[in-house]
A = this chain, B = another copy of it.
Amino acid sequence: MYNFQYYNPTKIFFGKDQIKELDNILPKGKRIMIVYGGGSIKTNGVLSQVEEALKGNEVFFFSGIEPNPHYETCIKCVEELKNNGIDFVLAVGGGSVIDATKFIVAAFYYENKNYWEILETNGKYIKKAMPFGTVLTLPATGSEMNSGSVITKKETLEKRAFHSQLCFPQFSILDPQVTFSLPDKQITNGIVDTFVHVIEQYLTYNVDNQIGDRFSESILSTLIYCGERVFLDKTNYDIRANLMWAATLGLNGLIACGSPEDWATHMIGHELTAFYNLDHGVTLSIVLIGVMNIMKEEKKDKILQMGERVFNIYEGTIQERIEKTIYATESFFKQINSPTRLCEVGLDEKAIEPIVKRMLDRNWSLGENGTINYEKVRLILEDRL
């Protein structure tokens, strides 16, 4: 078990009708900027619940945060905060809105006005951030309970991440009822995103981390249990609640404590999104199966453990159990309607070389052992044609 540090001060308000808690959480008389994306929070009633709970404060609005939020849009919001004397930001939305808000609150106080430096330096020089909270509407990224953010510069299509302990939300409100109105596609993407977050922190090599492994397996088992039921029982509150809490715990730092991490699937997936504009979740279900197939020797011990504990696979030779576990993972993605091959999203072998070239140009060595170079990336993607 590796040494680790763990710190997470975000306060969670979870459950039915928790949005009204805003009235107790925030002192009155503040100037609050509500940051959001498109119009869905208007049509599903979330915005009106938020406005009702914020009575007694002066409320401002900034809309138009994109999926894969743009640096350029965030900068406009920073100006709006300054123009309106804002002293608290409330992000209402999914991971993109929350990621954007983290950048906005850090940029607000950034001494060097070259805000892009925040992303070039992984947040190293952030000294202060405006306090903010979130009302989560889409369970997937875990951004509601971590201090990381991914921002894209539209001008160059550069996608960069930063982290700062000053960028934890003060609080996050998670009402699973708000997910009832989400399209199936977003539920699927959220399940895949959470599943692969957990896999990146789990499916590496064994360091005798009993707790970390079992917590990861707990989340995977919960995702499978709920994924198999969520589209058959669309008004079941507990399924939505378990999916929402699973997504938060999948990337709040806890399950990574004491273990090595991979993140190759995410890195390759990000490039597929950048080149071919695929949903993040779609890229993950495709790439993960390729990573498992090509890296199965390095990841052997953990694939076998996952087979036993998550999929109840005990029969057969080692090789057979590995194949069965990969097949079970792919079958789960298929069951929740997430693609596992490039051809399903209209891509063929011509799609591979630009990604491989990008990896070669950057001289990246991905994975928990740094062994996934551009040639392995080619094999991973060819495996998914």
Contacts and interface: CB of A to CB of B under 8 A. Distances in A.
A258 interface: yes
B8 A14 contact: no
Given A218-B214, A242-B208, A15 B4 contact: yes
A245 interface: yes
A363 B245 CA distance: 38
Nearest to A213: B218
Given A5-B13, A6-B12, A12-B7, A241 B218 contact: no
A233 to B, nearest CB: 12
Nearest to A1: B241
A245 B218 contact: no
Nearest to A219: B211
Contacts of A2: 15
Interface stretch (A73-81, A134-142, A221-229, A295-303): A221-229
A18 interface: yes
A1 B242 contact: yes
A241 B259 CA distance: 12
Interface in A81-108: none
A170 to B, nearest CB: 10
A63 to B, nearest CB: 29
**Chain A contact residues (Cβ within 8 angstroms of B): what range?**
35 or more
Nearest to A6: B12
A257 interface: yes
A246 B218 CA distance: 15
A12 B210 CA distance: 18
A210 B246 CA distance: 9
Interface string A3-35: 111111111111110100000000000000000
A180 interface: no
A212 to B, nearest CB: 8
B222 A214 contact: yes
Nearest to A239: B208
Given A209-B238, A214-B221, A245-B257, 14 more contacts: A1-B15, A1-B237, A3-B14, A3-B15, A4-B14, A4-B15, A5-B12, A210-B226, A211-B218, A211-B222, A214-B218, A214-B222, A218-B218, A254-B254
29 contacts: A1-B15, A1-B237, A1-B242, A1-B245, A2-B15, A3-B14, A3-B16, A3-B18, A4-B12, A5-B11, A5-B13, A6-B14, A8-B8, A12-B257, A207-B238, A208-B238, A208-B242, A209-B238, A210-B226, A210-B242, A210-B246, A211-B242, A211-B245, A211-B249, A214-B219, A214-B221, A215-B218, A217-B218, A245-B257
In the complex, the 10 A-B pairs of residues with the closest C-beta atoms, listed nearest first: A3-B15, A214-B218, A9-B9, A208-B238, A7-B11, A210-B222, A6-B12, A1-B241, A210-B242, A1-B238
